[in-house]
Structures are given as C-alpha cells and as structure tokens.
Chain A
Amino acid sequence: KQEVTQIPAALSVPEGENLVLNCSFTDSAIYNLQWFRQDPGKGLTSLLLIQSSQREQTSGRLNASLDKSSGRSTLYIAASQPGDSATYLCAVSSSGSARQLTFGSGTQLTVLP
C-alpha cells in the first residue's frame, strides 16, 4: 500500500527566504504527483502536477521536482512571502484504473514578516 511522508511537519522562516519542502513515497509505480496548498479550514488548491515521466514543473515562484526511482519529490518556494503561509500537501496518484490519491500529512509553513 502506498505511503506518503512529508518532512518537516512544520516550518517557520523569515520573509524572503528560499525554502524546500520534502515528500517521499514508498511505491514508485505512480501515475502522477500533485502538490496542494490548504489554508486553515479551507479547501485544497492545486499548485503543481508532475507526471510520472517528468522531472520537474514550475509555476511562478514554485518549482516541484520528481525522482520516481528514489520515491521523492520536493517543492521549492523562492523568495517566500507571508501570503505563502499555509499547509502544503503532497499527493500521489497510483497507477492502474483506480487512480486513488494518497496524501501526505502536510507541512505547515509560516512565513514571518
């Protein structure tokens, strides 16, 4: 059964700092990997999706990488801002017809002004 782990569970950084969030998964037979942002009590906003055949995706200040063979993904946030404060969730979509999404427990990011 797929397991997804995110480290660290919480991170606090000063504004302007570059940071990396980590995600690891146990089964490399994935369809794709998606990073989400969740504000407290709110829904999930999709940030980036990386297909299993891709190595990275970029959107603005965000860059996500995927190393399927080692079961790892990173989310790089450049020049962090207080508005980036949220919980970031990594989710892996399994191969096969079920397309089940398995989530990590998230990294709670606080960017201090």
Chain B
Amino acid sequence: EAQVTQNPRYLITVTGKKLTVTCSQNMNHEYMSWYRQDPGLGLRQIYYSMNVEVTDKGDVPEGYKVSRKEKRNFPLILESPSPNQTSLYFCASIPRYRANYGYTFGSGTRLTVV
C-alpha cells in the first residue's frame, strides 16, 4: 500500500531532550515536507526537501532540523525541544513533476513538550 509512515504517533517529552520524528514513504516521491498544525494557526510548513541531499526552510523552521540522506526518509529533528513546539506534526510527500498527483500525508505525530 502506498503510504507515508510517521513514528511515533504520540510523544511526550521534557524541555531540552533531543528527539527525532521519523517519516518514510514508499512511493519513490522526490518531494517531502513537514508541517505543524496548531489551533487558530492552521497548517504551516517547517521544512521541505526536493530530493536527496536537497532541503530548504519553510515558513516556521526555527528550532527544527531535517536531513534527506535517502529518498524514502525525511526525519524531523528537535535538538532542544521547548513547550512552544507542542503541536501536531505531519509529514507529506508528492512526486515533484506530476500536476495530476496530490500530496499524501502521514497520520500525524502529536508532540507534547513539558
């Protein structure tokens, strides 16, 4: 089944403790992206990657890092999480040059930083 898989689904952590949220897609998509969703602010892009070893900042990159060493994986790294990073996170992927193909989203990771 074609899908984007995020892990973990739920995570509670303490301020300053480094964490990684994994994202993997099995559709050979070039483009991957991370979003966070907050009440009243909607979905905002954190980082995106147009292909292996090519990443760029989205609208809200502060406090996050990403890497794209393989085409299928795009982990989101919070090196020193803070309470304002408590949010619902989504990973998404899409083939870069196919206009008739929409985004596929993962099921989300609900992160709580205390």
A contact residues vs B (CB 8 Å cutoff):
31-32, 34, 36, 41-44, 46, 49, 51-53, 89, 91, 93, 97-101, 103-106
Interface readout for B80-99 with A: 1 if CB under 8 Å, 0 if not? 00000000101010101001
Chain B interface main SS type: strand
B contact residues vs A (CB 8 Å cutoff):
31, 33, 35, 42-43, 45, 48, 50, 56, 58, 88, 90, 92, 94, 96, 99-108, 110
Residues B102 and A100 in contact, CB atoms below 8 Å apart: no
CB distance from B43 to the nearest CB of A (A): 4
Residues B102 and A104 in contact, CB atoms below 8 Å apart: no
Tell me the bound Cα distance from A105 to B37 in angstroms: 10
Residues B102 and A49 in contact, CB atoms below 8 Å apart: yes
Residues A98 and B99 in contact, CB atoms below 8 Å apart: no
Residues B99 and A41 in contact, CB atoms below 8 Å apart: no
